[in-house]
Structure 1
Amino acid sequence: MKITIKSTLMAGVFALCASPVLAETPDRTRLPIPDVEPKGYTQLDVREVQRPEPYEELRPPEGAPNVLVVMLDDVGYSQSSLFGGLVDMPTLDSIANQGLVYNNFHTTAVCSATRTALLTGRNHHQNNMSSIAETATAFPGSTGMRPNYIAALPKILKYNGYKTAMFGKNHEIPPWQTGPAANQKLWPSQVGFEKFYGFFGGETDQYQPVLVDGVTRIKTPRTKDYHFTTDMTDQTISWLDLQYSYNPDTPFFAYYAPGATHAPHQAPKEWIDKYKGKFDMGWDQLREDVYNRQKQMGIIPQDTVLPSMPDGVPRWNSLTEDEKRIFARQMEVFAGFLAHTDHEIGRVIDSLKKTGQFDNTLIFYIVGDNGASAEGNRNGSFNSLSFYNGVEEDPQFILDNLAKLGSRDSFGHYAKGWAIAGDAPFAWMKGTASDFGGSGNGMAISWPSGIKKDKDTIRSQWTHVTDITPTILDAAHLPQPTEVDGVKQISMAGKSFTNSFNDPKAKSKHTTQYFELAGNRAIYSDGWFARVIHWPLWEDAKKFSTLQDDTWELFDVSKDFALANDVADEYPEKLKSMKELFDKEATKYHVYPLDDRTLERMNAEIAGRPDAMFGKKTLTLYSGATGIPENSFLNIKNKSFDLTARITTANAQETHGVIIAQGGNFAGWSLYVQDGTPTFEYNWLGYEYTPVTSSAKLKKGDNEIVVKFRYDENGEGGEGNNVGLGKGGNAYLYLNGEQVAQEFISNTISSLYSLDDGVGVGEDEGGAVSKEYQAPFVFNQDIESVTTTIVE
């Protein structure tokens, strides 16, 4: 059969299939850059037509560098060797020796807010991230939902021809959108990262992480000697090597954000033991020593005055010998964790040198997303989840488990005294946005192809985390886009500081910046700093002044680097104008109304944010439902509830595995079967394990297992600071309609099971809730359904 196609139709086919051609001078202010209409042909025979030039991918402007951003977590201003601390960080030192050290760099004082500001160039309230993602509310500035009129840096770079990837901690997604069936609008793959390997929560277990690869939640790695920082480094190097192999002339943007050194503090024992005995002098002496060393090194001005430590920190000489032993070991664990992380970053740097990409890679090594963390409270902790549930750990419990600190059997955090020492020469710590101890972080930058080597490597220009994105765009000769995906963009709040790369005396472009977090608030403007210390992170905000009665302080930062001398009484008119400026900025950036609630905001019902359950009182899950975050499951904390599991067994006596579990090693509950016997077990922070074990076994065929937990509303209340919450209750276990067990559970989780380890049907992901089995303890029979119901 002969088929004839008219030449005009053929021309149309060729026009549709021809490769698009980019404009010679593309308009990079409107992204994505549109393709130019391809040329059409009328010739019938391709052999009669001159071949067009092959399609060329859009490339960044000539000379655009590779970009590597390293963002550490919860590292204080002075904890690294580069900034006077005792933790050896040779990779950080080498970056600084090759390039520059910025000693006046600032963050937002908390992780989620800092990270979204870094990747957008906008203030954290503009990104609707007033605090951490898990405390989002319904108010503008705090919803957790970054608007479409703010496109993230990876999308801007991707649309300009960069290859993009992120590894490690994300923590920029509102909690109700992190689940496997969630809207993925703010997932890394949707905001511009072509590759993502890491986790979404505020922290993860370094030995048993709950991970996402792209858009898929993967099984928890369980190889011997596994550690997440090493794993994400391997992933980073593999991606970089692949890009170099296939796209050697295409610049990349890699964002390396380990969970270190956020709690849990976990590191290989050999790294921890390197610091044995090095912190026996205590936090008071360490702070003094670091302060003096910083002046000798020129990291801080010679006239810097060291403020007194806050009253809430016990003095080292007032501690018992057991307390000193506990606290010194906590700091050794932290130091080993930080040093190990720097070593892994060194492997990434070595890979760039091996492939010859180091010289043209603009590297930002940001030593912390906020100041050192005091979330360990006075005593530190063996299980840092105690902090989120308002529980102060007994030092004796830590002492009894001291040898386990830093291992997979611990989830620890150091005492708050180390946080204050770790932020020298400042007075406060993470969460205190109104003090440079909360917002001040060290930073080193390297770019051999773009930064001239000079003896004067310290840069003291006032810089802010919002400046990173505009600086990268400036270095890449890219404009800030005015439109992305058809949406008009708002201007960036940050300012490029590339002018300081080769000029140590360059003027600071970032001259005004507000700070606010949970009522702690401040304003910086041209060398002046006005602030309110509303409350310290380790205390209940209600114990301090109301927002209306707060006292403002004033500092001349040009003469007082560490904010040691309040001059409010000397310059009342200046203070008045600074307060008015704060009001102006706060109104402009959606900072008001202020919200100083803390743990209460972890509860979606109290915070008033959207919830994945949309008011549901019953949820039925089926086999294979895993990776469900806490905010995507019914909130059964501080309530009575029922669990109904329907299963089918082919061999009842050999049935084993987890039917459903929530949480992990250090808090949670699990309904599981061993040798045909069902058990419901409650794990209260790793301190109390309460098994409710059936007196009867499963039968062959269909079985119904029911757990009825009845919360003791009239009880005395749970342990800790969450008054009226975390009470106990009776747990009843039924098998095929018959009651087969009953136990009283003394304490329950009041606020949070885990920031990352969620709910799984048919297996226990992450860490094991019970000590009676090893995760994942996959169920070996059929699960028809598991229904959870809130009982009112």
Structure 2
Amino acid sequence: MNSQQPTSVSLPAPDRGYRGFLPYDARDPDSKFEAIQPTQPPRGAPNVLIVLLDDVGFGASSAFGGPCATPTAERLAAAGLKYTRFHTTALCAPTRAALLSGRNHHTVGMGTVTEAATAAPGYTSSRPNTTVPLAEILRLAGYSTAQFGKCHEVPAWETSPVGPFDRWPTRSGFDYFYGFVGGETNQWYPAVIEGTTPVEVGRPEDGYHFMADMTDKAIIWSRQQKSLAPDRPFFMYFAPGATHAPHHVPADWIAKQKGRFDQGWDAVRDETFARQKELGVVPAEAVLTERPAEIPAWDDMPAELKPVLARQMEVYAAFLEFADHHVGRLIDSLEADGLLDDTFVYYIIGDNGASAEGSLNGTFNEMTYFNKASALETPEFLIEHLDKFGGPESYNHFAVGWAHAMDTPYQWTKQIASHFGGTRNGTIVHWPIGIKARGGIRHQFHHVIDIASSVLEVVGLPEPDTINGVTQKPFEGTSMRYSFDDEAAPDTHTTQYFEMMGNRGIYHNGWTAVTHHSTPWKADPPVAFDDDVWELYDTTTDWAQAHNLAAEQPDRLHELQRLWLIEAVRHNVLPLDDRTVERMNPDIAGRPELIKGKSQRFFRGMTGLNEHTTINTKNKSHTVTAAISVPESGANGVIFAQGGLGGGWALSVDDGKLTYTYNFLGLSTTHITAPEPLASGDHQVRAQFAYDGGGLGKGAEVTLFEEDSQLTTGHIETTHPIMFSADETAEVGLDAGSQVSDRYSDSGSRFTGDIEWVQIDLGDDSHDHLITPEDRMRVAMAKQ
């Protein structure tokens, strides 16, 4: 019998009670108490910085042969290591959940988007308490911890200002959080949360941009941390919204890109592939995969649209370069403070492949695509707005062809977990004190679930068995530490399943078996999972999955298919679920829904309310009623507003007159204004929205009332059928973010009177059932 028993590690470490002599008087010479010792990680544990970019494909960054200059990534790689076979889950929230937990995304309930969560264990979007994340382990071990940028791991029904906050960053191991909770945000007018509280930020006219802001906050936090607790290492998770849509970047950065992409996406792909071979991030014998038939050739695109398409890529490249620049500012600050050499850095260039969620033509305002109104963005319209792409008036996304080019040399894109185009992301490790190699390339196969194990090994902490009294599921990743100083070390991560919306694959000892089930920009007819066609690749010799060997080796393919099923059962992947009707109905799916019924009352001070937390007024009649008080000097400002410059509505008082404003996708704005100012005193004002009916997104007759007296009426020609915004919020008493109406500014939007309450009541003529579940799912997935 082995006398050595495994040591159980529990966090937090239990407090030791005092068991010595207890004197009556502290002056007693026998009064001896041990000094208070703060919790400290192992001696010599380094700081840890994880940088995770968003929607950047393998073939975008110059560090991995792409056309976008990323000198910070190159600088870190020159003094560290590039990993060329590092993988993600093919989608945002699942990758982030896997990274921070050290377990596969289905294991922690994040099999897909939170908006499509079900009661099945792998798809609840609620992390089990048996899988406490890395940040909490490090915090309990004595680290200072902070998260900056994108979160998007909070279940949709828990994103309101009243929580619960159990799965928000500050209750998931981070002492401090500054960023946004949703899948995307306007970089000029972001929906920023500090801790759990919405905060106001600067304005683009004053030079504000969220990427710069979050970097400033990260630098301040790290310096404050080292000033006040120099002996305590930190863990910083720095996750910009870049380069997720909207692609927002200052004009001077865009100007640098002019003319660089006029040759089109096919030529850019060829150029990138050649550079990748020169850099050695793909082997010389690698073969460039063919462009799928679903993606048009550059030469087949309309000539009048090509200047717009080239501009889209110029903006995207500028956005990535701008993001890398600010990552560089953070790195520079660590170096200036003498911290960089002993900071263990992961720079993960993308949480999935580049996004193909911008339609075949791309878009100036992504909301037109989400609202089935892409036809309104004609070539003439897009050319007219060419110079505004990337600026504060845009909410832009590039075309599918560019996404495919940014995933060179692989097949497919984000969301498609079957192929490396959706899952392979260039990754850099930098730790001069702990890694001897400089400028090395590592080809070992690894996955985002390996990050947590790697960090704990570098820090010198064992994986805990219990946390807060709850037995933990073991990490499912393997540490990458073994490969840091041994480029020839054999892989330790030898088997990995992939699955996203039915797209699935398995990697095992160099072979991959994969099947492509659905395409992000297409409403594919449902196909039985058993009818999906599987492909087989030997990636030891076929780096990019270019030569399908399924016909030549059916027995090996069958073995891998069976292995995929075994892994799927182990990690809560089953049941496979590509449903749309059922998943978009919370009652059938089995997930909570925050807002129910036909009436919701709001009060002054309620701000930062996203579309999950407000009653849905689209495609139906409704009334907006407010109890307000007008001072003797008169009133101005917003009573209630939802959305922003890309679309929304507001009830306000303009020049003393009650006004209802409807902004349709930023394309047209209708103001309906009472003829006379409101008198001083208490009022109950009302906007009655009588929907025209006859389908989705139709017009409406809006009538304004003061008490029961009709003030005026007006007609709105077209309305939003599906959503106002991906990130703009609703507020009582002001219009935060960008403004719905051009009749007031940010500073002038605050209501100068008093607001007792605002209430929205819905009619009985809802046409929401006409929104296809496929469209709802497409919108939910694209906001990742």
Contact 2:81-2:438 within 8 A present in 1 as well: no
What's the counterpart of residue 779 of structure 1?
751
Q: TM-score when scaled to structure 1? A: 0.92
Question: Which deviates the most, 122-131 or 437-446?
Answer: 122-131
- Counterpart code for 1:271: W
Q: CA deviation at 1:707?
A: 2.1
Could you give the per-residue CA deviations for residues 193-217 of structure 1, whole angstroms, max 9, x where no partner exists? 0011111011111111111111221
Contact 2:146-2:237 within 8 A present in 1 as well: yes
* Alpha-carbon separation, structure 2, partners of 1:707 and 1:728: 15
* Alpha-carbon separation, structure 2, partners of 1:245 and 1:546: 59
Matched, 1:538 2:521: yes
* Alpha-carbon separation, structure 2, partners of 1:27 and 1:642: 64
Structure-2 change in CA distance of 1:741 and 1:309 (3 Å):
farther
Contact 2:654-2:743 within 8 A present in 1 as well: no
Structure-2 change in CA distance of 1:384 and 1:421 (3 Å):
same
Q: CA deviation at 1:787?
A: 0.7
Instruction: Name the SS of the counterpart of 2:536 in structure 1.
Output: strand
The one of 411, 423, 432 aligned to 2:407: 423
Matched, 1:129 2:110: yes
What's the counterpart of residue 729 of structure 1?
700
Q: CA deviation at 1:351?
A: 1.1
* Alpha-carbon separation, structure 2, partners of 1:547 and 1:712: 42
What's the counterpart of residue 628 of structure 1?
609
- Provide the alpha-carbon RMSD of the alignment: 2.0
Matched, 1:237 2:219: yes
Q: CA deviation at 1:706?
A: 1.6
* Alpha-carbon separation, structure 1, partners of 2:574 and 2:457: 32
Instruction: Name the SS of the counterpart of 1:475 in structure 2.
Output: helix
Q: CA deviation at 1:606?
A: 7.3
What's the counterpart of residue 79 of structure 1?
60
Question: Which deviates the most, 470-479 or 597-606?
Answer: 597-606
Contact 2:506-2:563 within 8 A present in 1 as well: yes
* Alpha-carbon separation, structure 1, partners of 2:317 and 2:373: 25
Matched, 1:501 2:472: no
What's the counterpart of residue 770 of structure 2?
none
What's the counterpart of residue 68 of structure 1?
49
Matched, 1:98 2:69: no
Write out aligned runs for 1:255-266 (5 A): 255-266=237-248
Matched, 1:42 2:22: yes
Q: CA deviation at 1:605?
A: 6.2
Q: CA deviation at 1:40?
A: 4.2
What's the counterpart of residue 206 of structure 1?
187
What's the counterpart of residue 447 of structure 1?
431
Question: Which deviates the most, 577-586 or 197-206?
Answer: 577-586
Contact 1:375-1:387 within 8 A present in 2 as well: no
Could you give the per-residue CA deviations for residues 298-327 of structure 1, whole angstroms, max 9, x where no partner exists? 110112111111222222222333311101
Q: CA deviation at 1:45?
A: 3.1
Question: Which deviates the most, 147-156 or 745-754?
Answer: 745-754
Q: CA deviation at 1:740?
A: 2.9
Contact 2:689-2:701 within 8 A present in 1 as well: yes
* Alpha-carbon separation, structure 2, partners of 1:139 and 1:708: 42
What's the counterpart of residue 5 of structure 1?
none
Q: CA deviation at 1:574?
A: 1.6
Structure-2 change in CA distance of 1:200 and 1:601 (3 Å):
farther
The one of 688, 707, 728 aligned to 1:757: 728
Could you give the per-residue CA deviations for residues 344-368 of structure 1, whole angstroms, max 9, x where no partner exists? 1111111111111111110000000
Q: CA deviation at 1:620?
A: 0.8
Instruction: Name the SS of the counterpart of 1:582 in structure 2.
Output: helix
Matched, 1:790 2:762: yes
Structure-2 change in CA distance of 1:389 and 1:595 (3 Å):
farther
Contact 2:54-2:242 within 8 A present in 1 as well: yes
Q: CA deviation at 1:545?
A: 3.4
- Counterpart code for 1:498: R
Structure-2 change in CA distance of 1:461 and 1:545 (3 Å):
same
The one of 654, 657, 674 aligned to 2:637: 657
Write out aligned runs for 1:404-423 (5 A): 404-423=388-407
Structure-2 change in CA distance of 1:743 and 1:140 (3 Å):
farther
Q: CA deviation at 1:785?
A: 0.8
Q: Percent identity?
A: 45
The one of 567, 580, 592 aligned to 2:549: 567
- Counterpart code for 1:768: Q
Structure-2 change in CA distance of 1:684 and 1:178 (3 Å):
same
Contact 1:599-1:751 within 8 A present in 2 as well: no
Instruction: Name the SS of the counterpart of 1:359 in structure 2.
Output: helix
Matched, 1:216 2:200: no
Matched, 1:54 2:35: yes
- Counterpart code for 1:710: A
Matched, 1:489 2:438: no
Instruction: Name the SS of the counterpart of 1:172 in structure 2.
Output: coil
Instruction: Name the SS of the counterpart of 1:594 in structure 2.
Output: coil
What's the counterpart of residue 643 of structure 1?
624
What's the counterpart of residue 282 of structure 2?
300
* Alpha-carbon separation, structure 2, partners of 1:586 and 1:684: 44
Instruction: Name the SS of the counterpart of 2:123 in structure 1.
Output: coil
The one of 107, 127, 146 aligned to 1:146: 127
Matched, 1:743 2:714: yes
- Counterpart code for 1:447: W
Structure-2 change in CA distance of 1:382 and 1:600 (3 Å):
farther
Structure-2 change in CA distance of 1:344 and 1:603 (3 Å):
farther
Instruction: Name the SS of the counterpart of 1:516 in structure 2.
Output: strand
Contact 1:100-1:458 within 8 A present in 2 as well: yes
Paired residues in the alignment total 754
Q: CA deviation at 1:690?
A: 2.8
- Counterpart code for 2:53: L
What's the counterpart of residue 698 of structure 1?
678
Could you give the per-residue CA deviations for residues 606-647 of structure 1, whole angstroms, max 9, x where no partner exists? 75521112x232111111111112111112333332211111
* Alpha-carbon separation, structure 1, partners of 2:577 and 2:713: 42
Contact 1:732-1:743 within 8 A present in 2 as well: yes
Matched, 1:251 2:222: no
What's the counterpart of residue 30 of structure 1?
10
